[in-house]
Chains A and B, each alone.
Chain A
Amino acid sequence: MSDTAALALQLGDDALIAAQRLAEWCSRAPEMEEDIALANIALDQLGAARLFLTYAGEAANRTEDDLAYLRDDREFRNALLVELDNGDFAVTIGKLLFLAVFQRLRYESLAKGPDRRLAEIAAKARTESAYHAEHAALWTVRLGDGTDESHRRMQAAVDALWPYTHELFEGDAADLRRPWLAEIERTLGEATLTRPADGWAPSGGRVGVHTEELSKLLAEMQVLHRAHPGATW
């Protein structure tokens, strides 16, 4: 697989697994407007995932569906952050904030990159990621600077997720950590939350070593296609 296809696969898997996790909130979000918001964000992520996976599979003659439905966990290249269980609403918002700010920076950089297809997809997706990041930041501030209980939960979410953010900046994305931190620290500050110390930095998603949580997610996402190969709507 070429470097470009490998990168497209990584970007597509981040978006696909994030979409699947967000979709789990459908009909379960804390309020009607948020239910619609999370489903809309999931749809944007799925749209980007389809474009990236279509591109990633072209050289090997594999379709977006082949890549989404017919790979096992060891073949997925998403970061661990996106596969983690949704937890409570604060964890979901924390995951979205960390991911969306990263995606926006990544897409901005790729939109100026040498590969035309990746640049076009990234230019399309970056405005969507910017909207997701704004939404997650609003909630982070509302929960962090809210009641004692919402503050406690938002801080717990940020603390639990922080170790998983390091993996996002592996390889080519290392330069993005500084602007990412600047933006995240500003939001956490406004939310009266404490920025956790850097320490444990779990890794492995980019080489296919995932948590058990991904296996369970895939079992649900792939069951229909595996039971009825080639099924379409």
Chain B
Amino acid sequence: MSARATAAAVRDPELPVVTIEELGILRDVTERDGRVTVTITPTYSGCPAMDVIRADITAALHADGYRDVEVATSLAEPWTTDWITPAGQAKLQRAGIAPPAKKTVLTLTVRCPRCGSPDTQELSRFGATACKALWRCRACREPFERVKAI
């Protein structure tokens, strides 16, 4: 596989249903003189998963035979939930995590990712990781997580 494809296939440790490419945090992969440089950006400034992501990228590239790997971090353009790809959004939905609304679109309801009902309620604006909030569905009574829209 190309270095780009290998890096792109690394899964996010906190949201393992999506790859770092689908999450929108993989920004660039370059190869020069045998060295692979992968540039990623954090979802949140304090995201504690960054160290694990760096290690996972390095390990995946080493396993594919790329020996000289550097993982750089860039803040510009800052990540927002709009960077999540349509494929990533669909995978989150299927895993029971409501994807965030696009910031550019006015959304009135959050649909339950399990039963599809719009009759949902925010329980907590913060959740188990920096990028998620906690919701519940009033129709099927199930709690669910939602990627916070920022």
Contacts and interface: CB of A to CB of B under 8 A. Distances in A.
Contacts of A135: 125-126
B123 A33 contact: yes
B55 interface: no
Contact of A128 (B45, B123, B124): B45
Interface stretch (B84-92, B93-101, B127-135): B127-135
B13 interface: no
Given A33-B126, A36-B126, A127-B150, A44 B45 contact: yes
A41 B123 CA distance: 17
Interface stretch (A65-73, A117-125, A145-153, A173-181): A117-125
A47 B44 CA distance: 8
A143 to B, nearest CB: 16
A123 B130 contact: no
Interface residues of A, number: 26
Interface string A125-137: 1011011001100
Specify which of A37, A45, A50, A138 lies most central, judged by the most chain B CB atoms within 10 Å of its CB: A37
Contacts of B48: 43
A91 B123 CA distance: 23
Interface stretch (B16-24, B60-68, B73-81, B109-117): B73-81
Contacts of A131: 125, 148, 150
Interface residues of B, number: 21
Given A36-B128, A40-B130, A131-B150, A123 B44 contact: no
B124 A36 contact: yes
Nearest to B125: A135
Chain A contact residues: helix, strand, loop or mixed: helix
B80 A127 contact: yes
A214 interface: no
Given A40-B130, A44-B130, A131-B150, A125 B125 contact: no
A131 B46 CA distance: 14
B76 A120 contact: yes
B21 to A, nearest CB: 20
B47 interface: yes
A31 to B, nearest CB: 9
Contacts of A121: 45, 75
A47 B79 CA distance: 14
B45 A125 contact: yes
Interface in A5-43: 33-34, 36-37, 40-41, 43
B45 A124 contact: yes
A121 B73 CA distance: 12
B44 A128 contact: yes
Contact of B125 (A37, A50, A51, A130): A37
19 contacts: A33-B123, A34-B124, A36-B124, A37-B124, A40-B130, A43-B48, A47-B42, A47-B44, A48-B45, A121-B45, A123-B75, A123-B76, A124-B45, A124-B78, A124-B79, A125-B45, A128-B150, A134-B125, A135-B126
